[in-house]
Amino acid sequence: MALEIFDSKTGTLREFRPADPEIVRMYVCGPTVYTDAHIGHARSYVSFDVMRRYLELRGHRVRMVINITDLDDVIDQKAARLGEKPEVLAARYGERFLEDLRTLNVRPSYANPRVSENVPAMIGIIEKLNEEGYVYEVDGNHYFRTTLLGGYGQLTHERPEDLLADEPIMEGRENPFDFLIWKKSKEGMVSWDSSLGAGRPGWHIQCYGIMRGVLGDSIDIHGGGEDLKFPHHESNILISLAHKGKDAIGYHVHNGFMTRGKEKMSKSLGNFVPLRDVFERFGGSVVRFYLLRSHYRETIDYDEDDIEKAQQDLDLILGFEKDLKEVEKDGKPRGFVEEEIARHRKTFMDSMDNDFDTPGAITALLDFAGCAKTSPDDLRTTEARLALGVLSEADSVLGLTGAD
């Protein structure tokens, strides 16, 4: 079966064909590091880690990049409150974020580039866009003209005015949705020199500059949470059209929201679930397994009872694996047992081929663990070894044990 991935831009499942058959390039939008991650962040990175792992199981080499946004007003504001340098605060939370990824068994990235380390490449792109008329200045700040090149709506298929809850800010902009591409320097702000004056790049050009700089002209999968579609990823598409005449992205992939009490987790509602609090109670592998029991595009309503159920199911699978290791009965593998093992493996793989259907894949594993015909008591060592092979393959994708 071919792997099919849901592309948010076309709104359809599309067979996965990387631009370069040798190497799959994935870029996932990383966090702005001014505070610790919450459970919604974990969901995004675990979802894309499983995609990457499954592509690797299918024989692809994958370059996975998760950036770290270490230049932003919120970082400056918090650093000023704490009386420390923004770069020190951002470095600390950046390290804590990478620790969280390890706790979640997220495979190490090809790169975790910091925005602050890639500004010269962004400046080169901004200067080119400025020369070509895509950028204009208002009071030292520079904005990108979002009404050109088809404008917003190419990813969400909605008008920007229907996507914003609040009135957009004008500040002298030609169009209220035009985004800041170069912010002029002010006191206390880490800044760079450019032909547009001293300043620093805005958020959308940061990600675009890094992905092109680190991964090149074609990125197979650009990933992030649903909330990044607009304006962030819509803006990335417009920048790419202006810069290179085409969208650099093969597949636009977005994970669903996490809610709590059916309400979107947000700063204003104060209902974020800090990831480290969850780790203290359950441990990284269980949190990961809990998240994967829902399809990555579904909304998950955070519920600790569900994490406890996840723990029980995970124990069941790991117990099955342990039992298989203890089988000591000699004899050749029997055809009907081999068929049974192959059937479970196929269900697992077919589920993953269907837009990374991890709930389906996990159900296949639980069926396998509970299947009478393959109960370890009835098995021979040769058969147990085959079954362990299937489990270890599944583990390499789902990252259940942290073993690689």
Binding site for Zn ion (CB under 5 A): 29, 207
User: Which amino acid would we find at residue 42?
Assistant: A
233 or 288, CB closer to Zn ion?
Answer: 233
Closest contact distance (angstroms) between CB of 29 and Zn ion is 3
By the 8 A CB rule, do 225 and 233 touch? no
64 or 207, CB closer to Zn ion?
Answer: 207
Q: What are phi and psi of 179, to 5 degrees?
A: -100, 155
**Which residue has tokens 């991650």?**
37
Instruction: Give the whole-angstrom CA distance, residue 34 versus residue 133.
Output: 34
Closest contact distance (angstroms) between CB of 73 and Zn ion is 16
Closest contact distance (angstroms) between CB of 27 and Zn ion is 8
Query: Which of 362-368's residues contact partners 24+ apart within 8 Å by CB, and which partners?
Result: 362/289, 362/292, 362/293, 362/313, 362/398, 365/317, 365/391, 365/394, 366/313, 366/316, 366/317, 368/320, 368/341, 368/344
240 or 285, CB closer to Zn ion?
Answer: 240
**Which residue has tokens 């996990």?**
362
Closest contact distance (angstroms) between CB of 196 and Zn ion is 21
Closest contact distance (angstroms) between CB of 234 and Zn ion is 12
Closest contact distance (angstroms) between CB of 131 and Zn ion is 25
203 or 290, CB closer to Zn ion?
Answer: 203
Question: What are the C-alpha distances in Å from 80 to residues 73, 83, 84, 188, 388?
Answer: 10, 5, 6, 9, 54
Q: What six digits make up the tokens of 214?
A: 């680190």
Q: 268-296 burial, b for 16+ CB within 10 Å, e for fewer? A: eeeebeebeebbeebebbbbbbbbbbbbb
Closest contact distance (angstroms) between CB of 208 and Zn ion is 8
Q: What six digits make up the tokens of 143?
A: 């904005």
29 or 314, CB closer to Zn ion?
Answer: 29
Question: What are the C-alpha distances in Å from 8 to residues 13, 153, 228, 265?
Answer: 9, 12, 12, 22
Closest contact distance (angstroms) between CB of 204 and Zn ion is 8
206 or 374, CB closer to Zn ion?
Answer: 206
Q: Is the dihedral of CA 131, 137, 141, 142 positive or negative?
A: negative
Closest contact distance (angstroms) between CB of 30 and Zn ion is 7
119 or 384, CB closer to Zn ion?
Answer: 119
Query: What stretches of 231-295 show up as alpha helix (H) in DSSP?
Result: 234-244, 275-282, 284-292
Q: What six digits make up the tokens of 13?
A: 């499942």
29 or 400, CB closer to Zn ion?
Answer: 29
207 or 341, CB closer to Zn ion?
Answer: 207
The candidate with the shortest Cα–Cα distance to 48, out of 223, 207, 211, is 223
Closest contact distance (angstroms) between CB of 9 and Zn ion is 16
Question: What are the C-alpha distances in Å from 248 to residues 127, 215, 252, 327, 359?
Answer: 19, 10, 10, 52, 31
Instruction: Give the whole-angstrom CA distance, residue 67 versus residue 59.
Output: 25
29 or 324, CB closer to Zn ion?
Answer: 29
